[in-house]
Each structure stands twice: as structure tokens, then as C-alpha cells.
């Protein structure tokens, strides 16, 4: 196992643990979009195909909803040589990247009413930043 992959996996594991410990959950754009798409699948597809697509959407929504656990498992997956799978799990559990992090921070500051509530969730934001950095670092390994 390469040093870069170990570092990337370790950062993601630490980020996932911080996200789990904080207890804060963030539902990103993808989760919301899937929630809107799921009930409308039957308008476009029918039968077994519609059921399979709805099942896939529910599975992806569950992975996204687990957040910190998805990031933790993604970090461990990177450490055991499944870099692409680990990066996808981190992507789903931790958000799309730094832009997603910044938008999420801004939206939370607006919705929660200022900076004070954000500071109380600092472990989550640090964990999310570690997860995103670990995912980016794993890209090259």
C-alpha cells in the first residue's frame, strides 16, 4: 500500500469519525434531487425497470443519508486498494467537493441563523474538509 493511499484513507477515516461524533447531518443537492425524482419514475418508466430504478435511488439515498459512516467506509475501502469505490462512497457521504462544502456552510449559516450555530458543528465541518481532502488525495494514487 502506498503512502499516499494510506494518508488519503486515514484522512477520510478521521473525517468520517468526526462527522459521526458531531451528530450533525447535511442533506446535499443530490439527496434532494433523488427525493424529487423517486416518485416521478413511474411517469417515465413502467414495470420491472421502474422498480429497479426506484430501488437504486433508495439505495443511493440511504448511502447519502449515512453521511459520516459512508465516508468512514470509503476511507477504509481506499486503504484496502479499492480507490475508486472508496472515492465514490466519500463523494456520496461527504458531498461533491469544496464547492459543496462552501455552499453547505453558507446555507447552514443562513438557515441556522448566523455563525454561532456553525461553530457548534465545527467537528462536522472539519471532518467534511478532511474527507474531501482525502478523496482528492486518493485521486492520484
Residue 94 has pLDDT above 90, yes or no: no
pLDDT (tens digit, 9 = 90+) per residue, 43-88? 888 888 888 888 888 887 777 777 788 888 999 999 998 888 898 8
Q: In 1-141, which ranges are continuous DSSP H helix?
A: 3-22, 29-37, 41-44, 47-66, 68-79, 83-94, 98-112, 116-120, 122-139
Report the C-alpha gap between 66 and 20 in whole angstroms: 9
Together in a domain, 57 and 90: no
Residue with cell 418508466: 45
Report the C-alpha gap between 114 and 17 in whole angstroms: 26
- Domains: count for the chain: 2
Task: Provide the whole-model pTM.
Answer: 0.73
Together in a domain, 60 and 9: no
Let me know if residue 141 belongs to a domain: no
Residue with cell 443530490: 30
Together in a domain, 117 and 76: yes
Together in a domain, 17 and 38: no
Domain of residue 102 covers 1-25+68-136
Amino acid at each position: 500500500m502506498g503512502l499516499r493511499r494510506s494518508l488519503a484513507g486515514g484522512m477520510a477515516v478521521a473525517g468520517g469519525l468526526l462527522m459521526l461524533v458531531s451528530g450533525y447531518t447535511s442533506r446535499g443537492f443530490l439527496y434532494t434531487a433523488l427525493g424529487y425524482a423517486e416518485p416521478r419514475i413511474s411517469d417515465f418508466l413502467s414495470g420491472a425497470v421502474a422498480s429497479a430504478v426506484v430501488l437504486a435511488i433508495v439505495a443511493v439515498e440511504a448511502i447519502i443519508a449515512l453521511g459520516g459512516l459512508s465516508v468512514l467506509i470509503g476511507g477504509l475501502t481506499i486503504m484496502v486498494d479499492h480507490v475508486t469505490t472508496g472515492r465514490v462512497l466519500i463523494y456520496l457521504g461527504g458531498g461533491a467537493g469544496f464547492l459543496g462544502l462552501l455552499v453547505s456552510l453558507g446555507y447552514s449559516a443562513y438557515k441556522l441563523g448566523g455563525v454561532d450555530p456553525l461553530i457548534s458543528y465545527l467537528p462536522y465541518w472539519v471532518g467534511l474538509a478532511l474527507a474531501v481532502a482525502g478523496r482528492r488525495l486518493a485521486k492520484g494514487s
